[in-house]
Amino acid sequence: MNTLILDPTQDPAQDISMRTVGEHKPAPTPSAFRRDVDADGICRLTFDAPGSGVNVFNEDTLRELDSQLDAIESDTAIRALIIRSGKERVFVAGADLKAIRALPPTKLEAFIELGQSVFSRLAALPVPKIAVIHGACVGGGLELTLACDHRIASDADCTRLGLPEVQLGLIPGWGGSTRLPRMIGLQKALGLILTGKLLKPEQARKLGVVDQVVPREHLEAVAQKWCKPLACTGRRAFKPTACTTLPILRHLIAWKAKRDLIAKTRGVYAAPLMALKVATHGLGMSVRESLRFEREALLALTKTGEAAHLIDLFFRKEEAAKKPPSKGHAQPVLHAAVVGAGVMGAGIAQWLASHGVQTLMTDVSTDAIAKGLSRVSSLLDEGTKRRAMTKKEARESLDRISTATIRVPLHQHQLVIEAATESFELKKKIFADLANRCPPDTILATNTSALSVTELAKSVRNPERVIGIHFFNPVHRMPLVEIITHAGNTPDVIATAVVFAQRIGKVPVVVKDSPGFVVNRILMPYLLEAVRMFESGTPADGIDDAMLDFGMPMGPLRLLDEIGLDVAVHVGQTLVAAFPDRLPKTGLLDRMVAQGKLGRKSGEGFYRHENGKPQGAATSSRRSGHKNPSLLEVQTQLALLISTEARRCLDEGVASSADDIDLAMVLGTGYAPFRGGPLAWLRNFEQTTVH
Amino acid sequence: MKTLFFIDGVRTPFCKMGTTLASMDAVELGRSAIAALLTKTGIDPAVIDETLFGCVGQPADAQNIARVIALRAGIPAAKPAMTVHRNCASGLEAITTAHQRMAAGQGDVFVVGGTESMSNMPLLFSRAAAMKFAALSTARGTGARVAAMSRFRVQDFMPLIGLRLGLTDPVSEMNMGDTAELLAREFGISREAQDAFAARSHLRATQAAWALEREIIPVYAGGVHRSTISADNGIRSDSSMDKLAKLKPMFDTRTGSVTAGNSSQITDGAVALLVASEEAVALHGWKPIGRLVDHAFTGCDPARMGLGPVQAINAVLHRTGSRLDELDVIEINEAFAAQVLAVLKCLKDPASARRAGLDEPLGEIDDHRLNPCGGAIALGHPVGATGARLVLTALRQLHDTDKKRALISMCVGGGQGAAAILEAL
């Protein structure tokens, strides 16, 4: 779940994923499709699902499309078909995931088959079919257009095309895995299907996914030009290519794609491997056979826990990222100040500025500001290189950041985020100063990762406005923000923090103030146990490999090197003070810190780091006769530690639900998403071990 | 006329052309100054009615640079912005234009100032070369294109230096330095007197460096490797008559006396000030640091543009009914030592005064009141920004020394003079 699934609507109230299954039951009338045939015999079929901001395919809409095709087939006056959407920002957002989830397995196969047959029927219509795409065209939406002869996309910002199914543990099953490789070639198709990435219109045109990109206002006129008989325009679909005719070439491409995939994911995800197989082998079959293969593969995937967990997480993430808080009135935050221009402060300032917030970054010295601005600039540089933003956006972000080393007025700012060094005394001083300088309703937030927000609030007038907004490092990469509340917070303050996090594109999870909050607290026993294992003789790369195979994005010891061993010791101390008996005992970290081995930043930790890259793993010299535990033993022991601590958090009410904890761990630490999170894993583990 | 109040002001460091600020263009300098002003004052940018900024060498990629700067500094798009140009007095012109706007009821709160990146003055193609490029771009067919290309000659690719063009008066066809040489000859200003005045400027600026730094907001130049620039870099604490005497004349290389050492430096920098009407001051509860009493712009012979301050000072004194000796701080921009010394001579010496068009001399300016913190010879002269810098520096000095009134004046390329009287509050 590293790539974002496109937001189908801007308005959460309009988003079907925000609704419960029960609510979503489209009435048989009014119709989701509108059909107009003009004097020239051009039929315009407009998908406009009633009562919703998005178009999705469920059984009802598919059947309706089917009956529309009936009518079109029997109308001999029709000489061309234009398919378009009646929605403002969405073409078709794919299949209705909520409806799919509610389907019993027996009905699921019929549902997949229905989609395939309707799209195949569309593809077989003898008239030219033109898809006019404006807004999100993803999953089943894109598959619908693949069954057309031509695709024209608007150049609007909201237009995005892609097949994100693998991110949900599925594969494109309505002809996407069959038609896309035939249309744009296997290599390019795999680039889309295996990553699930979404394309901007111009990228889609370059890949051959769409024929033309035009301004939205010109879509209609351009579509009409394509309405000539297929013989004139030259039908694009399914010309035999070297790939379809030469099995060796096909398998060479597939072999390379698989190698890259394994290198990236260690093969722990079933869906991309399955997609690769279907797309490659499908090319050697007839379209009909390939569709059957696609269907069977998709059905098999839906039965795995992977898809269920990934879809679950998708919904939870969407909800956390968009749903307005149930209580309190959120105040808009247009101006924010960040106190501290260190790694976190600069990272936060960059993120806020890039998301439209006028940001003041303060620190005590001009040197600190210069370093902070250098960091902001290099983050923006990196962003433009990755094409996550344009040069113009980077410049605008930089322009939104102002700096100060003196005490400047703060009455413009609705929110101040303190990101100073982790010292309680220092933070107390900063908060006392801020409280005196800001209006009484300015929210004073701390980005502390370990100190008590409750204690900090006590040192300030109007303590109800003190809250924790905990970003994770690196800020631009980690989607999670822990909103740390204390008993004195008002609902308005919490709501403001939550909505603020949502507005800047982060996923907030509200937690109660308690040592380590959720993520660090759950992570720490796991990290320390890994250190203890290493101390007792298990090699570092052995431990890390085991957890990589478990599905973690990084092994625990590598992670410690990245965090910095000194930081880990500091967080560890806070937790040991709070829960003295609970953490694995090891003095190794302290000894390593004393030796100056701090991890990546000092060049040596559990690994040697050169030029910021880990070179070789250190080996523990102790207990040469030590018998290395098996891969599975390491995995189980470490995973259990995470899950037990997660359960304690839940029992103590630190987070409001198991789902919140699972989401926080997946988004805050990259905990294997296909396992659903530590509590989902624990449920699964207990079931399999008991029975 | 209604009074214009100064609320606050900041400036970037003034740095010699091609040094630490060279990587920032005039837009970036101006943006830094306005952004810092907004941060320092904490005002809501939406209360600003208009941005007026001076810039002499407007970059080709930022026409109406004031608008570009205002938008990039976060001033709302609904608020207009205009670039003003009165050559060396552009920074002052921004302030006086705001005053007139305000008095005419066209706004209450203005961001004013000036910006100049003399490091980034363009190199230009000659008109003849430009015509050939135009012919090439319209040529159709390979033959025509080859023919068009073959018309280029080596000298077509020799750039015209924008900075040199800008510093040459097109009416008298004299370089600014030559106008200074003319004054030196006509008023008998010796090389020694000029060098002594230059050394004085550096000495005063060195002594006042700590005070000058309080006008400055730090600027962080560079991309991913930022460095802090927080002080003017043109001041030579070791400047002396001996060292200055070694320099060769720059304009009249054989017999002249105007050198790089006794002329203003070519510099990058920007100044931003927040000014407002009395009503706005009351509405927002601001504490003004001073007010603009009055100002005057006058014209003179372009070949003797350095005498501009004489008539301008005369005019502003008449308009306000004040005398030269009532003014506590007097800032006369040091475009050239020769030019300032000529002005001083015209102010006190009856014969010289008559030559400059005055009926009688206005009086003598004693040394301690004149440019107490040095001037453009030490600090530099980013042409579009200097006028505003003089106002900022004068107001700060009045506060530092607990004095009341200041006069600022400057000569203006093209034959003009500017003068304004300020009062500390």
The pLDDT tens digits of the residues spanning A118-168 come to 999 999 998 999 999 999 999 999 999 999 999 999 999 999 999 999 999
Q: Which residues of A are catalytic?
A: 470
Q: Which residues pair with A154 in a beta bridge?
A: A214
Contact between B218 and A412 using a beta-carbon 8 Å cutoff: no
Q: How many CB atoms lie within 10 A of CB A667?
A: 26
CB nearest to A366's CB, from B40, B73, B230: B230
Structure tokens given for B235: 């001041």
Q: Give the mean model confidence (pLDDT) for residues A679-685.
A: 91
- Lowest-pLDDT choice from A228-237, A574-583, B184-193: A228-237
| Inter-chain touch B74–A366, beta carbons under 8 Å | no
With a cut of 60, say whether residue A22 has pLDDT above it.
Answer: no
What integer pLDDT is reported at residue B162 of this predicted model?
Answer: 79
Banded model confidence at residue A623, pLDDT cuts 50, 70, 90 = low
pLDDT of residue B61: 92
For residue A169, what pLDDT is reported?
92
Q: Of A94, A263, A276, which is closest to residue A192 (Cα–Cα)?
A: A276
More confident site: B293 or A569: B293
- Collect all residues of chain A within an 8 Å Cβ-Cβ radius of residue B228: 366-367, 369-370
**Contact: A402, B35; criterion CB under 8 Å:** yes
* pLDDT at residue A235 greater than cutoff 50: yes
B227 interfaces chain A, CB cutoff of 8 Å: yes
Residues A394-439: pLDDT tens digits? 999 999 999 999 999 999 999 999 999 888 999 999 999 999 999 9
Residue of B nearest to A371 (CA): B226
Report how many Cβ contacts below 8 Å link chain A to chain B.
53
Interface contact A384, partner B, CB < 8 A = no
| Cβ–Cβ contact B41 with A under 8 A | yes
Q: Tens digits of per-residue pLDDT, A658-667?
A: 999 999 999 9
Is the Cβ of A358 closer than 8 Å to some Cβ of chain B?
Answer: yes
> Catalytic annotation on B88?
yes
Over residues A587-604, the mean pLDDT reads: 87
Pairing of the two strands B227-229 and B219-221: antiparallel
Interatomic CA distance for residues B333 and B375, integer angstroms: 6
Other beta carbons within 10 angstroms of residue B63's beta carbon come to: 10
Give residue-wise pLDDT tens across range B252-274.
Answer: 999 999 999 999 999 999 999 99
Interface test with B, best of A371, A402, A406, A408 (most B CBs within 10 A): A402
Residue of A nearest to B71 (CA): A399
Average pLDDT, chain A: 88
**Helix (H/G/I), strand (E/B), else coil: B117:** strand
For residue B73, list chain A residues with Cβ-Cβ distance below 8 A.
399
- B381 as an active site residue: the answer is yes
Q: Which of A376, A370, A371, A438 has its CA nearest to residue A401?
A: A376
CB contact under 8 A, B31 and A399: yes
**Residue B308 burial class via C-beta count within 10 angstroms: exposed 0-12, middle 13-18, buried 19 and up:** buried
DSSP A494-526: HHHHHHHHHHTT-EEEEEE--TTTTHHHHHHHH
Establish if A399 touches chain B: CB-CB under 8 angstroms. Answer: yes
Given this model, what pLDDT does residue A13 score? 43
Contact criterion met (CB < 8 Å) for A358 and B228: no
CB contact under 8 A, A374 and B225: yes
The candidate with the shortest Cα–Cα distance to B241, out of B188, B206, B198, is: B198
Nearest Cβ partner for A370 among B41, B73, B227: B227
Burial A405-436 (b: 16+ CB within 10 A, else e): beebebebbbbbbbbbebeeeebbebbeebbe
